């Protein structure tokens, strides 16, 4: 699926909204931790890519997983955009002046207790990154066309907390993109297909 940036802008939410919420299996509705992530679409000459991180293996939340840059809302954060940009700068050193925020995807509630606001943005090369070695094992890019191609959306299941859970994954080379990251990518696919 080739991405039309004008169509993308038109489909995204202009403000964060809980009117439509995506919930993972295991989200029991208990107290959730507010968070925001940056969904960074890099404007490469050969085609758009998505900038992703691999979390370090020692982290308490989602160790070793592929994720968007982002994290918990801090009390000084003024908005989901502020959280996403602050966390992106802290985690991978991507400067705010290379980022153009387009809009939002619906809130995504994880089975691990987070209510995440995905902030979709364009990233203009060239840029330099300086990943925080405590949080980020690696930063890499995946072609957006690959991530939006439903033939790359594989169904998996696992037993977790006494129940069989189903989820999507998008294996890409040595990377296993799954969980909330794959869920948000599929949500973008659905928005663009509308």
CATH classification at residue 60 = 3.90.79.10
| Total number of domains constituting the chain | 1
Residue 176 lies in a domain: no
Residue 79 lies in a domain: yes
Radius of gyration of the chain (CA): 16
Residue 96 lies in a domain: yes
Residue 65 lies in a domain: yes
Q: What's residue 96's pLDDT? A: 94
Residue 29 lies in a domain: yes
Residue 44 lies in a domain: yes
Q: What's residue 61's pLDDT? A: 60
Q: What's residue 162's pLDDT? A: 66
As averages over each run of 10 residues, the pLDDT of the chain (194 residues) reads 79 84 67 94 95 82 81 94 96 96 93 90 96 92 95 80 74 92 92 82
**What domain range includes position 84?**
5-144
Residue 160 lies in a domain: no
Residue 89 lies in a domain: yes
- Check if the beta carbon of residue 123 is closer than 8 Å to that of residue 98: yes
Q: What is the token pair recorded at 27? A: 């989200």
**Nearest to 50, CA basis, from 156, 151, 153, 181:** 181
């Amino acid at each position: 699926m080739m991405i039309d940036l004008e169509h993308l802008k038109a489909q995204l939410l202009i403000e964060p909204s809980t009117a439509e919420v995506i919930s993972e299996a295991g989200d029991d509705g208990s107290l959730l931790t507010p968070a925001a992530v940056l969904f960074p679409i890099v404007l490469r000459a050969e085609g758009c890519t998505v900038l992703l991180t691999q979390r370090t293996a020692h982290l308490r939340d989602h160790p070793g997983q592929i994720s968007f840059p982002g994290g918990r809302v801090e009390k000084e954060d003024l908005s989901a955009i502020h959280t996403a940009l602050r966390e992106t700068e802290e985690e991978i050193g991507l400067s705010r002046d290379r980022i153009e925020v387009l809009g939002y995807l619906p809130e995504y509630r994880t089975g691990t207790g987070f209510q995440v606001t995905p902030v979709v943005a364009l990233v203009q090369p060239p840029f330099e990154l300086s990943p925080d070695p405590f949080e980020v094992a690696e930063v890499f890019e995946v072609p957006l066309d690959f991530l939006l191609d439903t033939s790359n959306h594989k169904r998996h299941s696992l037993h977790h907390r006494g129940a069989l859970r189903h989820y999507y994954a998008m294996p890409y080379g040595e990377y296993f993109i799954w969980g909330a990251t794959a869920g948000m990518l599929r949500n973008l696919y659905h928005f663009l297909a509308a």
